[in-house]
Amino acid sequence: MVQTAVNYTPLTPLSFLARTASVYPDKTAVVHNDTRYTYRQLQHRVNRLATALHGIGVVKGDRVAFLCPNIPPMLEAHFGVPLAGAILVGINTRLSSPEIAYIINHSGCKVLCVDAELAALIRPVRDQLTSVETVVNILDGDIGEPLDEGTDYESFLATGTDALLGSPVQDENEPISINYTSGTTGNPKGVLYTHRSGYLNAMTAALEVGMNYRSTYLWTLPMFHCNGWCFPWGVTAVAATHICLRRLEPARVFDLIEAEKVSHLCGAPVVLISLVNHPRAKTAVFPRKLHVVTAAAPPSPTIIANMEALGAEIFHVYGLTETYGPHSICAWHEEWDDLPVDERARKKARQGVPYITAGEMRVVDDNMRDVPTDAETLGEVVMRGNNVMLGYYEQPEVTAEAFRGGWFHSGDLAVMHPDGYAELRDRKKDIIISGGENISTIEVENTIYRHPDVQEVSVIAIPDEKWGEVPKAFVVPKPGTQPTEADIIQFCRDHIAHFKCPKAVEFGDLPKTSTGKVKKFALRDKEWKGLETRIN
């Protein structure tokens, strides 16, 4: 049989907005402070963005960067940039100027759309951004000071047209976005997402957590992170309402949950910790069932239990940037509802089974054999299927290494339970996960080594009530010098993103093996003694 237009249409998230705007044109699509857009209005704004990009010479395959918080332009970018045939590069707003410059230059972005409050990150490196031909300043009220060049976002949209464009996608496996990792082994890697996989993961995201056209989704998860776990597309697919949130403030979150009757939100465990520990938690009222999707650092059973005690329902998912965010979910069984609270929370803290459309996930030994399902034997989590990345942008050798043996190697260590549910236990590398962000100990160590008074350094994760874990540096000073904790921390803040900087510094000799390697496990054991086993 021959595949034709009669029986095949390339899969793309762009089709979600087209359908929803047709079926629910007057339904509220976006809420941001006092601004509300219907789906008809959102579609026209997206179309104006796409045609405005065409007007400045953006062609198929060009890259367009957005440095922007969770406000309407960032949502519009998820549709308008690919509608123009271009590739969206959403940039982590917590990075330093040099890190942002690296991402823009490595991806070769032709256009940079930057929120005025974040323009200060661009000013020091603007002359280094050799590929950027056009700057668009995003203004959100009177917040921030825009760059001195370029036009403002609304004026830029006005150069576009309302005449609706058709989908530019002929090959569903062409890139829709590039999401950069946190640079845990050096410079960040650009992870290529495709239209097809974005479509499938977005559909599953909505299906797995029970979203529909009655749902209201609050943007507590950064849209720059794995394309917001594909929820910009998934929420739109089911005609739910997007509630934008410029910055995460627990009191504001509780206000919006009540005022907008929020039904769904996503966030790392640190977000849940900030909510349950806020004074408003004692009097919070959820007008409807609140479904909370959590991932990044595995949530402890305690935080799951505490959040559900407020009346929320937790959906625990697991994945990486390379798997479009979530690849698996702790799929719930009805009979588990009757378990004691602690046992129920322990079950929900597991990483679970693959998403409906994801494909496969295994825990294997060094020879790629499945580990016993005994909940004890450690192995590496490997995945393959519909929501594994296309590859790393312009890094074929690194891609081949990640895909060795025909599977994507996560670098995460886990056990497999008798019921087929995976549970993370550790990381192969010494990655620190702080508030949902990955931090490379090597990157922090290399930065500290540049301090003139440092002879040796080792960095590990230590427990932190708010962020889960944070970096701590163990420093051996050069003879005759006396650096202080404040010196080391400030030096790091001058050179890398602030969230990557050590929150504590200890001076003294480092424990080493017979071959001269630092015994990081000995440092960790001291810091985590008496606490729950550290799980990255």
Give pLDDT tens digits for 426-460: 566 677 888 888 787 777 887 898 898 988 889 99
Euclidean distance between CA atoms 4 and 9, whole angstroms: 9
Euclidean distance between CA atoms 115 and 68, whole angstroms: 5
Distance of CA 420 to the CA centre of its chain: 26
Task: Look up residue 482 and give its two tokens.
Answer: 């006396």
Question: Mean pLDDT throughout 216-244?
Answer: 97
pLDDT score recorded for residue 169:
95
Euclidean distance between CA atoms 116 and 468, whole angstroms: 31
Task: Look up residue 453 and give its two tokens.
Answer: 């008074």
What are the strands of the beta sheet with 175-180, ordered from one edge?
151-152, 134-138, 109-115, 63-67, 87-90, 175-180, 190-194, 391-392
Residues 374-408: tens digit of each pLDDT: 998 888 999 999 999 999 999 999 999 999 999 99
DSSP, collapsed to helix, strand or coil, labels residue 481 as coil
Nearest Cα residue to 296 out of 128, 432, 492 = 432
Cα 95 to Cα 402, 438, 497, 512, 523, distances in angstroms: 25, 12, 5, 33, 28
| Amino acid letter for position 222 | P
Dihedral, CA atoms, 408, 365, 461, 530, nearest 10 degrees? 140
Average pLDDT, the chain: 92
Question: Mean pLDDT throughout 87-116?
Answer: 96
Q: Which residues of 515-535 are buried (b: 16+ CB within 10 A; e: fewer)?
A: eeebebeebbeebbeeeeebb
Q: Are 302 and 280 in contact (CB under 8 A)?
A: no
Checking if the pLDDT of 93 tops 90, the result is: yes
Residues 123-162: tens digit of each pLDDT: 999 999 999 999 999 999 999 999 999 999 999 999 999 8
Task: Look up residue 53 and give its two tokens.
Answer: 């990009």
Euclidean distance between CA atoms 455 and 473, whole angstroms: 13
pLDDT score recorded for residue 385:
96
DSSP assignment, residue 3? -
Residues of the chain with CATH 3.30.300.30: 432-528
Cα 491 to Cα 280, 331, 424, 450, 482, distances in angstroms: 37, 45, 34, 9, 14
Task: Look up residue 214 and give its two tokens.
Answer: 């009655």
The runs of H, that is alpha helices, within 294-453 are 301-309, 341-348, 396-402, 441-449
Residues 215-227: tens digit of each pLDDT: 999 999 999 999 9
CATH number listed for the domain at residues 359-427: 2.30.38.10
Residues of the chain with CATH 2.30.38.10: 359-427
Nearest Cα residue to 439 out of 95, 31, 152 = 95
pLDDT score recorded for residue 522:
87
| Amino acid letter for position 214 | R
Nearest Cα residue to 315 out of 289, 335, 287 = 289
Residues 60-79: tens digit of each pLDDT: 999 999 999 999 999 999 99
Cα 469 to Cα 177, 318, 431, 435, 490, distances in angstroms: 30, 18, 11, 8, 20
Euclidean distance between CA atoms 217 and 54, whole angstroms: 31
Architecture of domain 432-528: 2-Layer Sandwich (3.30)
DSSP, collapsed to helix, strand or coil, labels residue 337 as helix
Checking if the pLDDT of 504 tops 90, the result is: yes
pLDDT score recorded for residue 533:
47
Euclidean distance between CA atoms 297 and 277, whole angstroms: 18
Query: Phi and psi dihedrals of 458, rounded to 5?
Result: -140, 140
DSSP, collapsed to helix, strand or coil, labels residue 165 as coil
Euclidean distance between CA atoms 405 and 410, whole angstroms: 13
Nearest Cα residue to 358 out of 406, 319, 416, 404 = 319
Q: Of 271-275, 399-403, 413-417, where does the model show the most confidence?
A: 399-403
Q: Are 184 and 331 in contact (CB under 8 A)?
A: no
Q: Are strands 241-243 and 216-218 parallel, antiparallel or unpaired?
A: parallel
Q: Are strands 359-364 and 190-194 parallel, antiparallel or unpaired?
A: unpaired
User: Residue 37 half-sphere exposure, CB side, CA atoms within 13 Å?
Assistant: 22
DSSP assignment, residue 16? H
Euclidean distance between CA atoms 10 and 395, whole angstroms: 26
Tell me the pLDDT band of 337, cut-offs 50, 70 and 90. very high
Q: Are strands 35-38 and 28-32 parallel, antiparallel or unpaired?
A: antiparallel
Checking if the pLDDT of 489 tops 50, the result is: yes
Residues 5-57: tens digit of each pLDDT: 899 999 999 999 999 999 999 999 999 999 999 999 999 999 999 999 999 99
| β-pair partners for 353 | 329
